[in-house]
Structure 1
Amino acid sequence: MDIKQWEDKNLSHFSYAVLSESEKKVVLIDPARNPQPYYDYAKQHGAQIVAVIETHPHADFVSSHLEIAEVTGAIIYVSKLVHAQYPHQTFDEGDQIAIGKIRLSAINTPGHSPDSISVKLEHEDKIEAIFTGDTLFIGDCGRPDLREGAGNIKATRHDLAKQMYYSLREKLATLPGETKVYPAHGAGTLCGKSLSKAHSSTIAAERKTNWSLQEATEEEFVTNLLTDQPFVPLYFPYDVELNRKGAPAFNQSIKKVNIAGEISNEESAQRLNPALWMIDARKADTYKKGHLPHSINLMEEGKFETWLGSIIKPGEKFYLGGESETQLKNLIARTAAIGYEEQIEAAFVINYGQQHAAEFNLNTFKAQQENYTIIDVRNPSEVKEGKPFSNSLSIPLAEVRERVGEIPTDKPLVVHCAGGYRSAAASSLLQSTLNGKAIVFDLGEAVKAF
């Protein structure tokens, strides 16, 4: 038997393959949008993919379960509570998949969602591992507030938090201590709030160190779980439904995206629809020297997918710009990871821009901070830990587009985050939206000096 883990660092997502070496068969758990790594793994071992298990309809990424089933003939297993709209076999408490000496059993573990399951793996009748989806993470548990407006089953965060309390204690913590824990996410995901950077753990280790498994009343647990959860990106409800329906094939879908001619002068820029946002993924320094109107500087480095799906709405068309065709192809694939590839009106290499970011004088700012309106675009949990500027206006990046009207324009604006990525996005968005009503400066990496 072999267990293979893949990590998509951009989305902090873990997916898995369980290989029966004797039977030459593979079962996949929570696969990512691009199925090629799973095909390569099966080919490497001379094995056939026979099953795909979805622990729940994911909110933060798009799964390739339907495509894999159509290509390989594998059966998709998912809880009956999902009411999946693709061919599948229900997989709930008491249901098993047996392959050689391997037995995979479903455990209904509601809490993150009403339809969440965990998958217990036994080899030669010994419990070896538990694939916990978004129920139990390393150091944390799944957030319970994503299904109040998504999926076929709506549930309040309070009710799901109560269900999480019992799923953790009665279903997972009771497993043997040496059972390996394989979650669907690691540190950096928005599906939890305080995950470890570790890729796996054991039930015994989690009993000792995971806050969500410590002794607490139901009421105490619910209060702790609901406190300080991160924001919910706009694309999350959309992805829940897309995963419940099944996404189109990855390669076929990204090949449909039009990589158009280079934008190198005013004539080529004029062919763009001025009503559509241009997501410009070039480095901030390059962007500031010259960019197109109605642009947002969302750099390739960092959580590109998360912020794209937090600023651009599901179904909203946009342009994608980059420094090379190679970069564009990579960004299109990353856009597809959240199911937004069909929203790309066209993609362009950008070597031109008639708009420029205002030059920022750091010394003047340090000496005369009262002459600026300072916008802090970090998340509320970060602001809670301390503000570099006591008089700043806090508007998280995910909310800037909708809250521009709250920002006074009688002074120049200085935008900051924790390191420069989010402030580049927010300052460019504000410059485009305010359209000259106020000068907008990006503090960028200089925030570290404060």
Structure 2
Amino acid sequence: MYFERFYDTDLAQASYLLGCQKTGEGLVIDPVRDVGIYQRAAAAQGLRITHVTETHIHADYLSGSRELAAATGAQLLLSDEGGSDWAYAFAHTGLHHGDSFTVGNLRLDALHTPGHTPESVSFLLTDTPRGDQPTMVFTGDFVFVGDLGRPDLLDEAAGGVDTRFAGAHQLFESLRDVFLNLPDFVQVWPGHGAGSACGKALGAVPATTVGYERALSWWAPLVQAGNEQAFTDELLSGQPDAPLYYGRMKSQNKAGPALLGEVSPLPELDAAAMNDLLARGARIIDTRPRAEHHAAVPAGSVNLPDGNTLETWAGWLLDPAHDYVLLAIPERAEAIRRRLWMVGIDRVVGVTDTADGLDAQPAQPLTVAELPLHSGALILDVRKKTEYDAGHLPGARQLHAGRLPWALDTLPRDREIVVHCQGGARSAAAASLLRAEGFHVNELAGGYDAWAAAHARDLQPT
């Protein structure tokens, strides 16, 4: 058997290639849209991708299942559990609890494991030449390393009303009736790792075992004791803010993400072409470091530095209906473009490596000492609610950056807004979006950390 894990560190997302080396058949679980990575890996092992599947309708990224099946001619197998509201709207082979399929000498059993989402399935793998005992289970967002998939995303990001309680009940039953009935030696390979907003305390190691989770997880004693209320209370407490773009991901993944097919390289644009596109409503994705962006902020630009959180911020702040031009090192343009595909930002039409010739103005952040001179401003705290609750500037309004584009109508256009986060990185991106939308914006240099340091004496308990 061949096994390879692919991991996107930005969205903390895992996908998997399994292969039977005797027959040359391969399966990909939970692929992303940049499907070439799986095709190249399979070819290097002498495998052909014959099957594609996914564990559930994803919320944090656009699935590549449909793209990969179209590119390879593979059979697309998807859950038909969860009812009509959670039925995939494009052609596929449906899977129900207890269904099995083979990839060469590998057998995959579909297990309906709802809770995180109603249609969620896990895949139990048996390498039949080695015996009839299962070896791995691919749990998607059902069981993570040290945590569970949150059941409140449908409420938080997809328009549900109190679905979290039904989801928590389903998760409790899935753990009791399915997961805890698996042998302790079965390896658990989840769909996300530490840093994902699909849970609250995911482990950083890539895999666990059924036995380890049974022995050491917070939830196993509660499930084994039948204490569903305590389980539900702990599960739902302290979940992180859910970015609202998750609702768009759910809808697009259910309907079927647009097929990318063969993609031509991005053209390099001069200032005249850039200005023409901007005049017609395009936006700039400025991937330069924060300091370079502040030194010369192009009109209509959003600052998403080329780094570890590009995809996250693109999902949080960018509208897929816009055309975009990358302000980036040309040699990095195609890699950045493929990362934007993860969150459905497909309309990237060109790249430039300079802001010369564009309407650009400096936007240096305010220091804490300068803040009193802006007493009439709205202080906008774009951190998580848990961070805000732990300490915040007097009178500040908390609005998680991942919800900012959906709250623009609630912000004043006749009043200055001073944006801050913990240290300054998140607020730079959020402030750049507000500038592009025409708001009068400043940033607080150093964020809450700088303010708290300057007011340390005032914050001491009495």
Partner of 2:391: 387
Distance 1:296 1:271 in 2: 15
Summarize the Cα distance change of 1:27–1:361 in structure 2 as closer, same or farther, 3 Å threshold: closer
Residue 335 of structure 2 corresponds to residue 330 of structure 1: yes
SS at structure 2 position matched to 1:398: helix
SS at structure 2 position matched to 1:429: helix
Summarize the Cα distance change of 1:375–1:242 in structure 2 as closer, same or farther, 3 Å threshold: closer
Structure 1 portions without partners, runs of 5+: none
Summarize the Cα distance change of 1:83–1:391 in structure 2 as closer, same or farther, 3 Å threshold: closer
Any residues of structure 2 matched to 1:207-226 within 5 Å, and which?
207-215=214-222, 217-226=227-236
Aligned length: 441
> Which AA in structure 2 matches 1:230?
P
Residue 183 of structure 2 corresponds to residue 179 of structure 1: no
Residue 46 of structure 2 corresponds to residue 38 of structure 1: no
> Which AA in structure 2 matches 1:76?
L
What is the CA-CA distance between 1:205 and the residue it aligns to? 1.4
Partner of 2:432: 428
SS at structure 1 position matched to 2:233: helix
Structure 2 portions without partners, runs of 5+: 454-462
What is the CA-CA distance between 1:294 and the residue it aligns to? 2.8
1:127·1:179 contact (CA, 8 Å) conserved in 2?
A: yes
2:419·2:427 contact (CA, 8 Å) conserved in 1?
A: yes
Partner of 1:236: 246
Partner of 1:119: 123
Summarize the Cα distance change of 1:259–1:213 in structure 2 as closer, same or farther, 3 Å threshold: farther
What is the CA-CA distance between 1:182 and the residue it aligns to? 0.2
Please tell me the root mean square deviation across aligned C-alpha atoms, in Å. 3.2
Summarize the Cα distance change of 1:404–1:26 in structure 2 as closer, same or farther, 3 Å threshold: closer
SS at structure 1 position matched to 2:214: helix
Distance 2:87 2:53 in 1: 14
1:30·1:54 contact (CA, 8 Å) conserved in 2?
A: yes
2:312 pairs, out of 294, 302, 306, with 306
Distance 2:89 2:376 in 1: 57
Q: TM-score, normalised by structure 2?
A: 0.84
Partner of 2:50: 50
Distance 2:116 2:101 in 1: 24
> Which AA in structure 2 matches 1:173?
L
Partner of 2:168: 161
Residue 87 of structure 2 corresponds to residue 79 of structure 1: no
Residue 149 of structure 2 corresponds to residue 142 of structure 1: yes
Distance 2:94 2:220 in 1: 29
Distance 2:42 2:328 in 1: 35
Partner of 2:264: 255
Distance 2:180 2:291 in 1: 50
Summarize the Cα distance change of 1:251–1:324 in structure 2 as closer, same or farther, 3 Å threshold: farther
Partner of 1:107: 111
Distance 1:220 1:11 in 2: 30
Which shows bigger deviation, 355-364 or 234-243?
355-364
SS at structure 2 position matched to 1:228: coil
2:98 pairs, out of 90, 94, 98, with 94
What is the CA-CA distance between 1:39 and the residue it aligns to? 1.4
> Which AA in structure 2 matches 1:162?
H
1:320·1:328 contact (CA, 8 Å) conserved in 2?
A: no
SS at structure 2 position matched to 1:341: coil
1:289-315 Cα shifts (integer Å, max 9, x gaps): 1122232222222322222222234x5
Q: TM-score, normalised by structure 1?
A: 0.86
Summarize the Cα distance change of 1:274–1:87 in structure 2 as closer, same or farther, 3 Å threshold: closer
SS at structure 2 position matched to 1:334: helix
Distance 2:206 2:150 in 1: 19
What is the CA-CA distance between 1:188 and the residue it aligns to? 1.4
**Identical columns (%):** 29
Distance 2:412 2:372 in 1: 21
What is the CA-CA distance between 1:440 and the residue it aligns to? 1.0
Summarize the Cα distance change of 1:34–1:54 in structure 2 as closer, same or farther, 3 Å threshold: same
1:66·1:76 contact (CA, 8 Å) conserved in 2?
A: yes
SS at structure 1 position matched to 2:134: strand
Partner of 2:291: 285
What is the CA-CA distance between 1:250 and the residue it aligns to? 4.0
Summarize the Cα distance change of 1:274–1:390 in structure 2 as closer, same or farther, 3 Å threshold: farther
Distance 1:424 1:213 in 2: 42
What is the CA-CA distance between 1:357 and the residue it aligns to? 3.7
Residue 204 of structure 2 corresponds to residue 197 of structure 1: yes
1:335-377 Cα shifts (integer Å, max 9, x gaps): 11122203x4554443234443444463624888978754321
1:52·1:69 contact (CA, 8 Å) conserved in 2?
A: yes
Distance 1:261 1:336 in 2: 21
Any residues of structure 2 matched to 1:314-393 within 5 Å, and which?
315-342=320-347, 344=348, 346-352=350-356, 353-360=358-365, 362=367, 364-365=369-370, 374-384=379-389, 386-387=390-391, 389-393=393-397
Which shows bigger deviation, 214-223 or 72-81?
214-223
Summarize the Cα distance change of 1:33–1:408 in structure 2 as closer, same or farther, 3 Å threshold: closer
SS at structure 1 position matched to 2:123: strand
2:427·2:443 contact (CA, 8 Å) conserved in 1?
A: no
1:65·1:246 contact (CA, 8 Å) conserved in 2?
A: no
1:415 pairs, out of 413, 419, 425, with 419
Distance 2:202 2:156 in 1: 25
1:328·1:349 contact (CA, 8 Å) conserved in 2?
A: no
Distance 1:290 1:150 in 2: 35
1:171-228 Cα shifts (integer Å, max 9, x gaps): 1122111111000111111211221111101112112333233316222222322233
What is the CA-CA distance between 1:100 and the residue it aligns to? 4.9
1:10-58 Cα shifts (integer Å, max 9, x gaps): 2111011222223222121111111122212221221222211211121
2:301 pairs, out of 269, 278, 295, with 295
